[in-house]
Structure 1
Amino acid sequence: MEPIPKRLIDYFTELSGKHGIRLTDKQKAWYYAKEKTLGYDMKREYPSLPAEAFQQSVEGAYYARQFRYLYQNKRIGTLPDNSHLPVHTYWDIGVGDSTSIWFVREVGIEFHIIDHYSNSGEGLRHYMKILKDKGYTYASHNAPHDIDNREFGSDAKSRREIAREGYEIDGQKYAIRFDVVPKLSIDEGIEAVREILPNCVFDEHRCADGVAHLEAYRKEWDDKLGCWKDKPLHDFTSHDADAFRYFAVSRKNKQRPAFEINLGTTF
């Protein structure tokens, strides 16, 4: 039996602890299988609680159509072993804030999103140790233009320079070289994500949190005008969405999909 993602285990635990709804292993497996197809519509179609029947898919979500395609075509699941291929990383680096990293393999005309990591309140050394510990063979590391910003202090070095010089990690020097992602507007970046998402396949376990955040990334609501603003809401989804946007922008002019996907035919 395929293991159930942690986010669903937490959901089932909450159902049991708060609402007294206890599911058997068979029921949990059924729920997981159904959710793979329905995505955010699962709670509305098969509610565990009465209130869930009235939940809508995330309104104002930037990538709702693309994720409908990914779910319907089972592009969020278990990935084949392509460990012989190198990995590219794409970062959103915060200062004393959250940092997000996506791990991507290019497999033919597809992009296999094999892993994801995010954390907050940690320095660059922490994230470099994460890369080292994961043990992938890396082809490139990519970050936005502010990787070249100078840090405060006597040395006034940029994080790009610090990463190139490296740290001693587990008794040996470990360094990485960052490439700078081309600078595009947020709107152009969002459009790049929309273009590349149908050519992506996600590891549903290692990327569970990142996928949930990317799917929920949405516009900000204007209470006064009663409509969506033409800019993203800055919340817990932002860093993962920004890092994925840098991935899409960096690939925009490097590789074109070998086929076109009509998202309108999927629902």
Structure 2
Amino acid sequence: MTDASGGSWREAEQALEAGIDFERANAARIYDYLLGGACNFAVDREQASRILAQNPDMAYVCRANRDFLRRAVEWCLAHGITQFLDLGSGVPTAGNVHEIALAQHPDARVAYVDFEPVAVAHAHEVIGGTEGVSVTRADMRDPEGVLAAPGVRDLLDVGRPVALLTVAVLHFVPDAELPSILARYRAALAPGSAHVMSHGSADHDDPELAARTRAIQDGYRGSATEVVLRSRPAIRELLGGNELVDPGLVDIVDWPAPAPGERPTGGYAAIALFD
């Protein structure tokens, strides 16, 4: 449908030019929907329904990831790290990195990076010229391109510690070169920087937990962002040989301390410190 001026057709053309895929669901928009957001399409909601049918815990897992992000940002701030490079930042929702950081440290700097056009466009709207915050559309698999982008290069001082955030994103990156890609980020950042990560896995002693995580993977099949479930050793490899902050690589709900009342998510979380 279109009006007399053909406006809606032009909007659709602009969306296609921006790289928005209306035919396949996308992880950033699915995540937004599962967190109760509105920046998603029917195809994303349909895929989310299939994921929830496979594992009704998925919305809980998303919220747990969001809570881990908050705790990790607070840990970084408490340890003097006030710059954040958030890769695969997704659609901004309540409790964004910059909201947490700026509330506690007004001089904090947050560079959001994502490749999904809807996520980037909405992030620009949410940020609205907030000082110390930038949004960049770039492919995280290109570290040099990301770090050279004006929104990153002109905001972050890589000569000082930076928190590299890869929360609930690397299991959407199938690239076999991912360990070396992440190593290139670490090589570009100052000593004292930290790598904050959460990642899905079916590598668990509890067979039911492993099955629930594999069900999530199955639910993403056919989307533009299918899930890669790596083993615990493979996830540890993504953090390089750097020292892990206590308690190490643990379930998302158990970082930084055990949460006996919370059911496990099937995802691992950790913070690694750079030498």
The two structures share one fold, judged by TM-score above 0.5:
no
Q: Report the TM-score, using the length of structure 1 for normalisation.
A: 0.28
Q: Report the TM-score, using the length of structure 2 for normalisation.
A: 0.28
Q: Give the strand-richer structure, 1 or 2.
A: 1
Larger Rg: 1
Of structures 1 and 2, the one with the larger relative CO (CA 8 A, separation 6+) is 1
